[in-house]
Amino acid sequence: MKVDPGIKTVNAVYSLERKGTPWPSLWLSYLIQMMTGVQYSIFFTSMWPYLLMLDSSANLSIFGWINVAYSIGQMIATWVFGYWNQRTMSTRWPACCGLTFMAVGNALYGSLPTLSAHHARWMLLARFLVGFGSGNLAVLRTYCAMASSRTDRSKAMSLAAGSFVVGLSLGPAIQSVFTPIGQRGVTLLSIPLNMYTSPAFLMLFISLFSIFLLIVQFEERYAGIITEEEKRDAFVVVPKFDRISAITCMYLWFMMQSISTNVEIISTPLTMALYEWNEKKAVFYNGIIQWLGCCIDIVNYVIISFTFVGKMDKRKLLIFSVLCFMLHHVLTFPWPFFDGPLNYISTGNSSVEDTSISGGCFRRYEWCAHTTRVPLPIYAFSVIVISGFAFPFLAAPLGTVFSEILGPRKQGFMQGLFEFGGSVARCVAPIVLTTLFESSGYLWPTVIHFIMLLIGLVLLIVFYRRLVPLPLLPKTGVPTRYKNGVLYRL
């Protein structure tokens, strides 16, 4: 009697559906992913003023490289931790290793005022260490994909993507809480605690506490993949995934990370130039804007995860998000009918452009003489409301779609590659964006991102029918490629 290979594949699929999702461990992973997002974004509104306080000769080019250091560290660690996870199926220890690097990096960042020289270089090293530690994000996201059952996959991956993006939004808001401390602050055990260093030490303690929770509370149980025992059976088929669909998802993630970096890197110098905010106002007001945007982010992630919206066709949600991003860039474009040109920093009786006293354009920015000012209400509305819809409706469904395209297999390497694309965006974008901002203002960054969005929209439309979950049960008579050759289901 001949055995139909499809029967054993059906049994493996039913086995997947009977497994339960370990939600307590998933919620712990969400907490750590959120804190990873916070550690990336918490210094974006304050890092530039902090650098100027430590080294008044610093410029945006140096600042760009400091931001790139984080992404270079993350880019390297993504491969390292992804390979570690793929080989050992361990999530706990790669995640703990990453958190240790974060703790060391934040300790160094907070201790910069105690150093006598080369502050920019030490800041670059501190951000590299934190970035390397954040490579554990790929491992945690892989765990969410492999630990969740098929019925919970959409909710689990939406919350995974949402937790990190919420962390990105919370970072500047947390920073703004420390603004009243001021630049001088207080000194404790020879370590200055001010508006710039206090958040770093807070992140240090949170990293150590997260390591404790991972060791004590985390459970490694995988409900979303076919077991090693089942895969030893040559008749259990896990078809090859659609590479074009996977690459499309990677591009969309690259695109979103590039836009996110633009908002985070440029927001402080941009608002100082547009609205003549000094350093303290720029940190405080941008923190408020990010916090309000975070509130909308959270509401949207809750809606996506716990209402009928999460059950909608995720491809339509992705298209909606891209259109929101395009609207944001249209509204924040320096249109000629806006008020202008921009004003330069007031120097009073001095020749020094002191941004701690007065905001505005540096005189070395020639583009300020012919650049218009986006009205503050339009800028705030776009960043808070429109971006508050755009980011969640891309990040949440995209993680789900990418995981479903890969299917019930080990995803450590591919999830690492997915995060690698985002790291490349965060590595390249700060250099390109700060260089363009120095030379031409915010015109060309806006144009470049609009073109990237247009490409993303075209990819979604062209490959719309291919962005679907991996079919585990091939149609009768249709040849399906898998690990041992080609399967014909009769």
Q: What is the mean pLDDT of residues 333-340?
A: 88
Q: Tell me if 26 is assigned to some domain.
A: yes
Residues 416 and 329 in one domain: yes
Crossing angle between the packed helical segments 60-88 and 92-110, to the nearest 10 degrees: 160
198-232: pLDDT as tens digits: 999 999 999 999 999 999 988 888 765 655 555 55
Residues 67 and 213 in one domain: yes
Residues 447 and 399 in one domain: yes
239-270: pLDDT as tens digits: 778 899 999 999 999 999 889 888 877 888 88
- 287 φ/ψ angles, rounded to the nearest 5 degrees: -65, -40
Residues 248 and 204 in one domain: no
186 three-state secondary structure: strand
Q: Is the pLDDT of residue 113 over 80?
A: yes
Residues 338 and 215 in one domain: no
Q: Is the pLDDT of residue 26 over 80?
A: yes
Residues 171 and 314 in one domain: no
H/E run at residue 249:
helix 243-275
Q: Tell me if 482 is assigned to some domain.
A: no
Q: What is the mean pLDDT of residues 431-443?
A: 84
In angstroms, rounded to a whole number, what is the distance separating the alpha carbons of residues 426 and 67?
8
Q: Tell me if 235 is assigned to some domain.
A: no
Tokens read off for 320: 């909606």
In angstroms, rounded to a whole number, what is the distance separating the alpha carbons of residues 62 and 338?
31
460-471: pLDDT as tens digits: 999 999 998 877
Which of residues 170 and 389 earns the better pLDDT score? 389
* 481 confidence band (pLDDT: 50, 70, 90): low
Task: Look at the chain and report how many structural domains it folds into.
Answer: 2
The pLDDT assigned to 227 comes to 55
Residues 175 and 274 in one domain: no
* 309 confidence band (pLDDT: 50, 70, 90): confident
Among 467, 166, 425, 421, smallest CA distance to 158 is for 166
Q: Is the pLDDT of residue 430 over 80?
A: no
Residues 108 and 154 in one domain: yes
Q: Which of 189, 223, 257 is the last residue of a domain?
A: 223
Residues 245 and 218 in one domain: no
Domain that holds residue 329: 240-347+356-470
The pLDDT assigned to 3 comes to 42
Average pLDDT, the chain: 83
Q: What is the CATH number of the domain that holds 107?
A: 1.20.1250.20
In angstroms, rounded to a whole number, what is the distance separating the alpha carbons of residues 490 and 488?
6
317 DSSP β-pair partners:
none
The pLDDT assigned to 222 comes to 77
Residues 310 and 175 in one domain: no
Tokens read off for 360: 């505005």
323 three-state secondary structure: helix
Q: Tell me if 463 is assigned to some domain.
A: yes
Q: Tell me if 6 is assigned to some domain.
A: no
Q: Is the pLDDT of residue 373 over 80?
A: yes
Q: Tell me if 71 is assigned to some domain.
A: yes
Q: Tell me if 477 is assigned to some domain.
A: no
Residues 215 and 247 in one domain: no
In angstroms, rounded to a whole number, what is the distance separating the alpha carbons of residues 36 and 78?
13
Residues 184 and 292 in one domain: no
The pLDDT assigned to 209 comes to 92
Q: Tell me if 476 is assigned to some domain.
A: no
